[in-house]
Amino acid sequence: MENRHILHMLSPLGHVSPFDVNMAVDAGFEVVAPYTRVELKEVGGLIQDAIFSRGPKGAKATGAFIGGKNAELALDMLAAAKKAMVPPFEISVFADPAGSFTTAAAMVAKVEKAMSQKGLAGRKVVIYGGTGVVGFAAAVITALQKAHPVLVGYDGPERVKALAESARKRFGVEIGHADGSSEAANSAALGDAEIVLSAPRAGVQVLSKEQLGGASKLLVAADVNAVPPASLEGIGVQDDGKAIAGSQALGIGALAIGGVKYKVQAGLLKRMIETDKPVYLDFRDAFDLARQIVG
């Protein structure tokens, strides 16, 4: 009898995302087992329970998914899961807290596509919603592409400064930080940005049309907020490289990004099922796939 495909879904929160459960089942996992309020110290034990119970062959039909809403914790949990493996007893693990790693990957891939031949290298990228998971992942992705990202914090510069330092230690990248606690601070942070990525709390407008129009070097702006009002005024949820009124820049909206995000998450879940060797997936793998999808 063939081993059924089982996905163990670990979350440090009080619930596992229904969105992620649906995605996992639609990708082909036959059994989905949720684990909630999981602490970092518990990950190794849970993973070893999963790898030893089915033998090396059955382990190939077993996977773990790491959720939550904290990028750093998700990465630490992914590392702990990988450390717990005892070859040939290994399973695939995919970290995508709040779906944000795949969202960030899709957003950056869409922006890169809109930049055409200009590319990301050397570009100043200003990221609003910098304290969130999408912002953190997008900053690291763009930094790895040799851009110059700046995380903007709605509650001031301290938390985004700490996140930038964490990214430097983890990935060896340089990320700037800026205050975004007021309209004036947001305008100052915008400065000479060539790319704007916006991923704040739902329903919060960060920049007005006037602010975007005043950014003389701006080439592309992307907004992942689908809840009205748009975080970047003048960008519709369906916009996909559409000119922003009053600006020279092109706009990319939440649904244009979301269509790619959905395909990326589904594709990585299917990769866990189809692979002959264990894979350990995070936003870097998501970005590689997002690039392929957007062409």
Does residue 117 carry a pLDDT above 80?
A: no
- For the whole model, what pTM was predicted? 0.96
Domains of the chain with bracketed CATH? 6-95 (3.40.50.10280), 100-257 (3.40.50.720)
Average pLDDT over residues 111-127: 93
Does residue 276 carry a pLDDT above 70?
A: yes
Percentage of the chain beyond pLDDT 70 is 100
Does residue 1 carry a pLDDT above 70?
A: no
What is the predicted pLDDT for the residue at 118? 82
- Burial (Cβ within 10 Å: 0-12, 13-18, ≥19) of residue 77: buried
Question: 187-242, pLDDT tens digit by residue?
Answer: 999 999 999 999 999 889 999 999 999 999 999 999 999 999 999 999 999 999 99
What is the predicted pLDDT for the residue at 287? 98
Q: Would strands 195-198 and 62-66 be described as parallel, antiparallel, or unpaired?
A: unpaired
Q: Would strands 250-252 and 240-243 be described as parallel, antiparallel, or unpaired?
A: antiparallel
What is the predicted pLDDT for the residue at 59? 85
Question: 27-69, pLDDT tens digit by residue?
Answer: 999 999 999 999 999 999 999 999 998 888 888 899 999 999 9
Does residue 157 carry a pLDDT above 90?
A: yes
Percentage of the chain beyond pLDDT 90 is 92
Neighbour count for residue 115 (Cβ, 10 Å): 17
Q: How far is CA 268 from CA 75, 95, 107, in A?
A: 16, 10, 17
